[in-house]
Amino acid sequence: MNLILLGAPGAGKGTQAELLVKRLGIPAISTGNMLREAMANGTELGKLAKKYMDEGALVPDELILGIVADRVAQPDCEKGFILDGVPRTLAQAEALEAKGVKIDHVVSIEVDDGKIEGRMTGRRVCAKCGASYHIVANPPKTEGVCDSCGGELIIRKDDKPETVRHRLEVYHASTEVLKDFYAKLGRLRTVNGDQSIEGANEDILKAIGAKV
Ligand code: ADP
Ligand code: ADP
Ligand code: ZN
Task: State whether the beta carbon of 181 lies less than 6 angstroms from ligand 2.
Answer: no
| pLDDT digit string, tens, across residues 76-86 | 999 999 999 99
Q: Which helix (H) or strand (E) holds 181?
A: helix 177-184
For the question of residue 51 being annotated catalytic, the response is no
CA-based torsion, 91, 35, 32, 189: positive or negative: positive
CA distances from 46 to 9, 41, 59, 92, 123 (A): 20, 7, 11, 19, 22
| pLDDT digit string, tens, across residues 174-189 | 999 999 999 999 999 9
**Res 31 pLDDT > 90:** yes
Query: How far does the centroid of ligand 3 lie from the alpha carbon of residue 125, in Å?
Result: 8
For the question of residue 13 being annotated catalytic, the response is yes
Say if pTM beats, i.e. exceeds, 0.95. Answer: yes
Residues near 155 by Cβ (< 8 Å), separated by ≥ 6? 123, 124, 125
Q: How many C-beta atoms surround the C-beta of residue 118 within 10 A? A: 13
Which is the catalytic residue, given 128, 156, 165, 179? Answer: 156
Task: State whether the beta carbon of 52 lies less than 6 angstroms from ligand 2.
Answer: yes
